Structure 1
Amino acid sequence: MSNEFNEIPELNVGDTVTGTIVKVEEKQVLVDIGYKTEGIVPISELSSLHVELPSDVVSEGDTITLQVKKVTDDEVVLSKKAVDAEKAWADLQEKFDNKEVFETVVKEVVKGGLVVDVGVRGFIPASLVETYYVEDFSDYNGKTLEVIVEELDSSQNRVILSHRAVVEREAEANKKNLLESLEEGQVIEGTVQRLTSFGAFVDIGGIDGLVHISQLAHHHVEKASDVVSEGDKIKVEILSVDRDSERISLSHKATLPGPWTNIGEKVAQGDVLEGTVKRLVSFGAFVELFPGVEGLVHISQIANRHIGTPQEVLEVDQKVNVKVLDVNEEEERISLSIKELEQQQQQEEVKNYEKDDDHSGFQLGDVIGDQLDKYK
């Protein structure tokens, strides 16, 4: 003959049981585990984290697995936290061994970092949250973060997690993919990161390339800051990629219209312009008319007299007026003359002199004429 008490399981501390929640109270939860009395889960045994109300964690009708903490004739005390922790430590160990990336929700912002629930209490130190400095972590409360297990010690209940490592890992993967995809001649947009005495470093999507100062503009650049500023979005052309050393050479100059482009719209034959003597050579002088645009004054066009060398008349950085003799945009050549301007000036001076001379000549003639009349 069967005795109904034989069907009641024997419970021992440490046993794992499954039950259904029948009542959620303010400080505890009652669970039907098929025992002669309902099991009690105190609020402190619901989670490894601080819990305000049991209803925040469980609801009536939920089926949950619990560990027996205490058994008396009158009550059975159970723990959800203990089961979760045991499972969590095994799970975390596996994640730690495999360097697995997984998601977790920030439960609390505390001094020094973030507290998360990973079955047990996990901690993300402030220095392991982001790759950059964060002033205020209050926005992180309730946020889901991807993390990896950085440190694990079950005997010390120590679980250190890192979101920063995930970000760095992704950045490294992106950098590798980017390096593989880059090709010489490609034109892409980048952001100026920092300026140096020799050029500008530009972020082209997770990796920095160098625009040497000579590649910033078509004209001579003294300081990179004369052309670009940190934070500027600029177009750059890839000159070379060294995948082993992760060095990328870029050119901003190559993406800009050349100084000779449409030069015919700026300069025409017969124009008189002011320029700066840039170089003196045996056959003449190169005069800069616009940034990056130089014209040649042939030695025969420098002075209105024979000279042996351009240095006899001109010096570097001297400002001079020149007349345009010819413009060839295709060959990027402009012929200039200083002599023609001198000749024009002389002709005008002679004309002015002749005018004055003619005027005084009539007066002189009149006077002499009067005198001559006396002798007729």
Structure 2
Amino acid sequence: MVEEIQNELTEVSTLQVGDIVKGKVSKVEDKQALVDVGYKFDGVIPISEVSSLHIERVGDVLQEGDEVELKVIRLNDEKDELVLSKRAVDNEKAWKTLAEKVQNNESFDVVIADVVKGGLVVDLGVRAFIPASHVEQFFVEDFSDYKGRTLKVKIIELDQEKNKVILSHRAVLEEEAEQQKEKIFEKLSPGEVLEGTVQRLTDFGAFVDVGGVDGLVHISELSWKRVATPSEVVKEGDVVKVKVLKVDKENERISLSIKATLPGPWEEAGTKFKIGDVVKGTVKRLVSFGAFVEIAPGVEGLVHISQIANRHIGTPGEVLKEGQEVEAKIIDMNLAEKRISLSIKEVEQEKAAKVVEKHKEEYTSSGMGVTLGDVLGDKLRNLK
């Protein structure tokens, strides 16, 4: 028994400033905590030595009965003074741990301890800071609801000499987005049809998010009809069906088409038109052998030069001009070859026949002594 007491006294007498000891919190006050470390009197942890961050009360961090590892920072046996630091031990461990995380390029979870001007504060055993620009991938105006939240971060700057630790949540989000992008590029293949959300519009098309990656729908692939600006067809936030046209993994580009997911104009033409129909259209272009007339968006028919007028003409431009609205009769259709033959002449002939029939009835009913040629001569000449 005497030998054991002598051993304990020997251990106590060897306690020196700088030693690391373990103890149990025996009492917690607002500005300090008392700790039993097996010495002849309890040690004291001042509030300034509890945490690397500013705290209002020791009780915010320590509770009675907590077992803690501490560093001796002051010892005076004559005054029964033993001052300990939890912060110093935490600090030394933290720098070692943080250096390993940097070396391993590791992401880890942290709890936001405080919100300050310019960003967020984290206690890692040392004070760490997340600048406002590194909290999210988007601008955040108010950080007040971030206190107490858990964020996954990476260390982007570590300098023990300057006691500087800078963290980034945005870097983690960007890394995750890049990994997601790689997965999508591996999975996407030309010909695939999927849903996406319109993210933004430009003069040359619309960018559509297809699961974390933006693909471009060129303005020519927005619709079967001619489009002057993308906003005529889509707006930001629209959910659209798109077809993958091309995947360029090397340059991280995806070409998409909305048009390719819609029924083509020639498909619709098969249900909308039939031979014998009289349709209205616009002269789009004149060629030596006739005129091409658009009778529906994306559907043009040919009026051969012989079907333009009832009289012989040398060029289509003698009768027609581009942009002119005309009536024509469908005289032939070949949807497989996307060909429709039209006749303006037949429409005019049918109109003339109706005029003749109408005036023939008027002549018969009038009983007047004039010939049918007298009545219709000028009218028929005007229709030629």
Normalising by the residue count of structure 1, what TM-score does the alignment of the two structures yield?
A: 0.90
Candidates 223, 227, 231, aligned match of 1:221:
227
Superposed displacement of residue 230, structure 1 = 2.4
- C-alpha distance in 1 between matches for 2:360 and 2:240: 61
Name whichever of 265-274 and 134-143 sits farther off.
265-274
Superposed displacement of residue 299, structure 1 = 2.5
- C-alpha distance in 2 between matches for 1:341 and 1:101: 76
Is 1:281 aligned to residue 287 of structure 2?
Answer: yes
Is 1:241 aligned to residue 242 of structure 2?
Answer: no
Residues 97-108 of structure 1 mapped to structure 2, 5 A cutoff:
97-108=103-114
Identity %: 60
Query: How many positions carry a matched residue from both structures?
Result: 364
Note the alpha carbon deviations across 1:72-114, whole angstroms, 9 max, x for none: 2212111111100010011112212332111111110100010
Candidates 109, 131, 136, aligned match of 2:137:
131
Name whichever of 98-107 and 167-176 sits farther off.
167-176
Candidates 255, 267, 287, aligned match of 2:273:
267
**Residue of structure 2 equivalent to 1:7:** 8
SS at match of 1:155: coil
- C-alpha distance in 1 between matches for 2:98 and 2:368: 118
Name whichever of 120-129 and 167-176 sits farther off.
167-176
**Residue of structure 2 equivalent to 1:208:** 214
Superposed displacement of residue 328, structure 1 = 4.1
SS at match of 1:228: coil
Name whichever of 97-106 and 202-211 sits farther off.
202-211
Is 1:49 aligned to residue 53 of structure 2?
Answer: yes
**Residue of structure 1 equivalent to 2:170:** 164
Note the alpha carbon deviations across 1:133-168, whole angstroms, 9 max, x for none: 111111211111111111122222111111111112
SS at match of 1:176: helix
- C-alpha distance in 1 between matches for 2:174 and 2:270: 52
Note the alpha carbon deviations across 1:208-241, whole angstroms, 9 max, x for none: 2222221111122222221122222222222122
SS at match of 2:65: coil
Is 1:19 aligned to residue 44 of structure 2?
Answer: no
- Kindly provide the amino acid, as one letter, of the partner of residue 195 in structure 1: L
Candidates 336, 345, 358, aligned match of 2:342:
336
Whether the aligned pair in 2 keeps the contact of 1:267 and 1:327 (CA below 8 Å) is: no
Name whichever of 294-303 and 311-320 sits farther off.
294-303
- Kindly provide the amino acid, as one letter, of the partner of residue 2 in structure 1: E
**Residue of structure 2 equivalent to 1:189:** 195
**Residue of structure 2 equivalent to 1:371:** none
Structure 1 stretches lacking a partner, 5+ long: 366-376
Whether the aligned pair in 2 keeps the contact of 1:262 and 1:329 (CA below 8 Å) is: no
- C-alpha distance in 2 between matches for 1:328 and 1:25: 94
SS at match of 1:261: helix
- C-alpha distance in 2 between matches for 1:137 and 1:327: 66
- Kindly provide the amino acid, as one letter, of the partner of residue 90 in structure 2: D
Normalising by the residue count of structure 2, what TM-score does the alignment of the two structures yield?
A: 0.88
- C-alpha distance in 2 between matches for 1:102 and 1:279: 66
Name whichever of 118-127 and 56-65 sits farther off.
56-65
Whether the aligned pair in 2 keeps the contact of 1:128 and 1:163 (CA below 8 Å) is: yes
- C-alpha distance in 2 between matches for 1:34 and 1:229: 72
**Residue of structure 1 equivalent to 2:65:** 61
Note the alpha carbon deviations across 1:238-270, whole angstroms, 9 max, x for none: 212222222222221111111122434322333
- C-alpha distance in 2 between matches for 1:133 and 1:248: 27
